[in-house]
């Protein structure tokens, strides 16, 4: 039986190779997974032209996935440096990489990325439009917008961020409700500018079926972007954000009618006490579609540490239903991240994702923690390092400060609770002063 997309196959009762791989990696019955894909509650972004892909599922009942942003810009256009980041991100087991390139040889970088990446690849075609045509934004035609989307699809990217919910109604809502930080989405702000300069409707909203044609042809997952995501905690959960979210819910239904897989993108910056309600609202308004969040960053005052503000919000968001977390690095708001920034961002977001998986009761999530706890009780340092989310840093810390007694560390020494409890419970004596033990 023929099928066009993963959702089409699922609705026809077909279990695809991609579904089998995802079900096995998630310890889930494949028919249960197929049913979730058919409903749109799980997406398996897998472009037909991405041959190196190891498929991943995003959505209800699955492990929380993480995304790493990479790409070349006008100020930093070294493809080799970005490819080095790609290799490290894959080694660190990122499930997705978004190529946010906006200058220079973007097609060359994208093609190399798709060729080597086992992780799913996402892009924001809007970033590529100006450089692709070497034309000012105002002069880009509707046809040219769609040609860039199709080029990305042909190149094999698995999902594209399209800000189709920023229609004229959303813009009018934005204009009536003032914000501190206006529109902080890069793609959303460019699209807003094009609409205002040309006094036109959003082409991706006006010709949404044309977008779906491309997605259906390549099995390209549509990541409906949040142009009006809050860029400060003061702007969170406001009229603009919710208005756009309502439009995204309507577009989700239209996409599903065409068997096109959908992911919804979300905030942004947001106070901790608003996160739970936002996750529940998104799932309700967007019919249970997978939710992809940037952060949310829970305070605006920590530049240089926004991987931490983001991890706090991400852990809470995912525990209440977000399915996909975009990493944030210490360089957020400041510069293009370097390799070390990227590593710190990946570790932070992986901590958030795993913490949420424990809270959500994902199969096997807490087992990892239990193994680490047993290794600590046994004072088995090598096993602790092997189990660690980031093996490099704990090894480095241990090496930098060697204890006198191998079964302790330089903080507690012979007062180590694990060491002494093990001795007492096994019937042995302990001493804290003598040097013979």
**Do 355 and 382 lie in a common domain?**
no
- Under the banding of pLDDT at 50, 70 and 90, the label for residue 414 is confident
Structure tokens that stand for 149 in this block = 């989307």
Instruction: Give the tens place of pLDDT for each residue, 192-233.
Output: 999 999 999 999 999 999 999 999 999 999 999 999 999 999
Annotated binding-site positions: 69, 98, 127, 163, 185-187, 226-229, 265, 269, 292, 333, 409, 412, 416
Q: How many domains does the chain have?
A: 2
Domain boundary among 336, 360, 384: 360
Does residue 205 lie within any of the structural domains? yes
Tokens matching residue 146: 């769609």
Q: Which residue intervals of 27-105 are DSSP H helices?
A: 30-39, 79-91
pLDDT for res 437: 58
Alpha carbons 157 and 413: distance in angstroms, whole number: 53
Residues 323 and 371 in one domain: no
380 shares a domain with 258: no
Instruction: Write out the residue range of the structural domain in which residue 369 sits.
Output: 365-425
Give yes or no for residue 320 having a pLDDT over 80. Answer: yes
Residue found under tokens 């032209």:
49
Lowest mean pLDDT among 64-78, 222-236, 249-263, 330-344: 64-78
Same domain, 338 and 374: no
When computed from its CA atoms, the radius of gyration of the chain, rounded to whole angstroms, is 24
Q: Is residue 337 part of a domain?
A: yes
Tokens 């290794």: give the residue: 375
Assess whether 377 and 337 both reside in one domain: no
Residues making up the annotated binding site for [4Fe-4S] cluster are: 409, 412, 416
Q: Decide if 296 is inside a domain.
A: yes
Shared domain check, 190 and 293 = yes
Q: Which of 168-177, 181-190, 391-400, 401-410 has the lowest mean pLDDT?
A: 401-410
340 and 392 Cβ atoms separated by less than 8 Å: no
Residue in this structure with the two tokens 């450089």, named with its chain if needed:
131
List binding-site positions for Zn(2+): 269, 333
pLDDT tens digits along 172-195: 999 999 999 999 999 999 999 999
HSE-CB at 316 with a 13 A cutoff on CA atoms is 19
Q: Are residues 260 and 371 located together in one domain of the fold?
A: no
**Residue 338 three-state SS:** coil
Q: Do the domain assignments include residue 164?
A: yes
* Predicted local confidence at residue 213, as pLDDT: 98
Q: Are residues 123 and 93 in the same domain?
A: yes
Higher-confidence residue of 429 and 357: namely 357
The CATH number linked to 328 is 3.20.20.540
Are 354 and 415 part of one and the same domain?
A: no
**Share of residues in the chain with pLDDT > 70 (%):** 99
- What value does the mean pLDDT of the chain take? 95
Contacts of 178 (CB under 8 A, 6+ apart): none
Residue 436 has pLDDT above 70, yes or no: no
Domain annotation covers residue 36 = no
Do 291 and 283 meet the contact criterion of CB atoms below 8 Å apart? yes
End-to-end Cα spacing for the chain: 72
Same domain for 410 and 309? no
Strand partners, 325: 66, 293
Query: Within this chain, do residues 419 and 298 fall inside the same structural domain, yes or no?
Result: no
- Taking the model in full, what pTM does it have? 0.94
Question: Of all residues in the chain, what percent are helix, strand and coil, respectively (each to 5)?
Answer: 50, 10, 40
- Listed residue (323, 328, 325, 334) closest to 310, CA to CA: 328
Q: Which of 360, 376, 392 is the last residue of a domain?
A: 360
Pair (229, 374) in one structural domain: no
Residue numbering of the annotated binding site for substrate: 69, 98, 127, 163, 185-187, 226-229, 265, 292
**Closest C-alpha among 426, 417, 429, 418 to residue 375:** 418
């Amino acid at each position: 039986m023929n099928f066009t997309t993963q959702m089409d196959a699922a609705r026809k009762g077909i279990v695809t190779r991609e579904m089998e791989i995802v079900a096995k990696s998630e310890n889930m019955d494949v028919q249960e997974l197929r049913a979730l894909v058919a409903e749109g509650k799980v997406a398996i972004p897998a472009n037909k032209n991405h041959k190196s892909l190891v498929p991943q599922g995003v959505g209800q009942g699955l492990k929380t996935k993480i995304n790493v942003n990479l790409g070349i810009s006008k100020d930093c256009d070294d493809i080799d440096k970005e490819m080095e980041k790609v290799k490290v991100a894959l080694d660190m087991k990122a499930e997705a990489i978004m190529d946010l390139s906006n200058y220079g040889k973007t097609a060359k970088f994208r093609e190399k990325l798709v060729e080597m990446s086992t992780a799913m690849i996402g892009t924001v075609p809007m970033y590529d439009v100006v450089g692709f045509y070497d034309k000012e934004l105002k002069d880009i035609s509707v046809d040219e917008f769609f040609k860039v989307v199709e080029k990305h699809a042909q190149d094999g990217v698995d999902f594209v961020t399209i800000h189709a919910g920023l229609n004229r109604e959303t813009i009018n809502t934005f204009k009536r409700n003032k914000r501190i930080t206006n529109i902080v989405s890069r793609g959303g702000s460019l699209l807003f500018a094009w609409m205002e300069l040309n006094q036109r409707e959003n082409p991706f909203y006006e010709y949404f079926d044309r977008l779906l044609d491309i997605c259906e042809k390549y099995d390209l997952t549509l990541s409906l972007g949040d142009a009006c995501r809050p860029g400060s905690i003061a702007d969170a959960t406001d009229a603009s954000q919710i208005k756009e979210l309502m439009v995204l819910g309507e577009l989700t239904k239209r996409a599903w009618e065409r068997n096109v897989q959908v992911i919804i993108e979300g905030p942004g910056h947001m106070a901790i006490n608003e996160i739970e309600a936002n996750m529940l609202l998104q799932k309700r308004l967007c019919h249970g579609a997978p939710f992809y969040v940037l952060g949310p960053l829970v305070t605006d005052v920590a530049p240089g540490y926004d991987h931490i503000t983001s991890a706090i919000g991400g852990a809470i968001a995912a525990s209440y239903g977000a399915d996909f977390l975009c990493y944030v690095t210490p360089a957020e708001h400041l510069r293009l991240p370097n390799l070390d920034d990227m590593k710190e961002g990946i570790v932070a977001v992986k901590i958030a994702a795993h913490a949420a998986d424990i809270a959500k009761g994902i199969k096997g999530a807490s087992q990892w923690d239990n193994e680490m706890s047993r290794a600590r009780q046994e004072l088995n340092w090598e096993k602790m390092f092997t189990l660690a989310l980031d093996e490099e840093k704990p090894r480095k810390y241990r090496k930098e400060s060697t204890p006198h007694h191998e079964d302790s560390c330089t903080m507690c020494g012979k007062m180590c609770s694990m060491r002494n409890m093990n001795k007492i419970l096994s019937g042995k004596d302990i001493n804290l002063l003598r040097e013979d033990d």
